Amino acid sequence: MNKNVLWTKGHVIKEFKVFPDDRGGDYVDVGLQLSYIKYYEDVIDPSLHVEISVIDALGIINKLPIRSGSAVRLRYQHPSQDEEVELELVISNIFGHTIDQKREIYTLTCETTTALSNETTRVIKKYKGPISNTVKELVKLVFDDPKDAKVAIDETANESEFFGNFRRPFKCIADLCKKSIPTTFSKGGANSGTAGFLFFETLDGYQFKSIDKLFAGEPIEDEYLMTPVKVHVDPENNFFVSNEPNFKESHDIVKKLRAGSYSTANWYYDVIRRKVEFYNFKYNKSVEKANDEDVTPKDYRDFYSRIILGTIDQGTTSTPAEGSELATPQDQARTQAQASARYSALFSQMLDITVPMNLSLRAGMMLKIRFPNINTDRSIPKNSPESGNYMIARLSHELGNPDGDFTGLTLVRDSFTTHE
């Protein structure tokens, strides 16, 4: 990482080749025809995505030809990251195709090879054991060679036993995310975490992560600062917010009440014992937060605003060892209630910002953002309560924009920060 170079400039396309079917035959080097690249990661999307805009003055699209299913090899480098980015992709769609007398313009939507492998793979066997171990095995199914599987996994406290029933691997993992509880949690001790995991893909590979642990993570070393004067020309500062922040979600109390973000009443029917289990989930008493101040209004913390009805997963989930927190139907009801509320509260506050291109950022990372307090009263702390720790929920790197190279971030957090 070179911090002494202006990160809004300086990307280099090392390679952009398109192969008609596989990577062993003919190819065409489309590097000179490339207009821009948009790269996307999202914590609620199991696959990363890439869009490549091409200005084709040679008629390559029909000469090669370029079609859905064609393979793409893309390599590029930027001073914000020491290692170059290398992607093996498959074209999944071609859109925005226009033609004039001298050129054709079109955009290639590209997926990773494993994302498309997931679409053609079905889970047929039975799995039993810790959920984290099962996820490792499911991810391997989408790789030609299981040894190539790159996946970072938070270990789970609970086990699961289920049949694949011809579902896709990523669909099975999405279902397991809702049932998973982390084994340890740094702020609360062993098995004190809240149910709810996320499964997504970054440049580093697949991620199966506890929401609790993501929010509890340390932010990156460099702090992003919102400044009243843009400092694009300062090569010593690449950690600034280059646009006006857009707070998409923050204080919509009606929406949060209807979603059960603060408190839910949960009735689950145990089909084996023919009994109903009740669990009242209260967010402020059950979830460790990324910042200091609670987002739940005092008048609504104890009143459940949403009623959830469901069935306990008896018969498909194996019973953990005696003494485990998940050994009873009541514990399973609590787990399902926790997961539902945790996902609901995940996007309590959403913020869109743009920063100079930073390829070292990943979805799921924590950032610290500083906003100045707009007030002339010196007795009031200088930092706005909007400042604090945020998790990157979505990111997009855009290379080739005429105004420079930028990274767009959608940041989320589940609490406010006290004044400093």
Domain 118-216: CATH class, spelled out: alpha beta
Of the pLDDT bands very low, low, confident and very high (cuts 50, 70, 90), residue 403 is: confident
Residue 147, helix vs strand vs coil:
helix
Q: Stretch 402-415: mean pLDDT, rounded?
A: 88
Radius of gyration of the chain (CA): 24
Q: Which single residue is written with the structure tokens 């996307």? A: 40
Crossing angle of helices 169-177/131-140, nearest 10°? 160
Provide the b/e sequence for 310-324 (b: ≥16 CB within 10 Å). Answer: eebbeeebeeeeeee
Cβ distance 12 to 20 under 8 Å? no
pLDDT exceeds 50 at position 6: yes
Q: Stretch 18-46: mean pLDDT, rounded?
A: 84
Tens digits of per-residue pLDDT, 85-142?
999 999 999 999 999 888 999 999 999 999 999 999 999 999 988 999 999 999 999 9
**Domain boundaries of the chain, sorted by first residue:** 118-216, 253-343
Of the pLDDT bands very low, low, confident and very high (cuts 50, 70, 90), residue 20 is: confident
Global pTM? 0.85
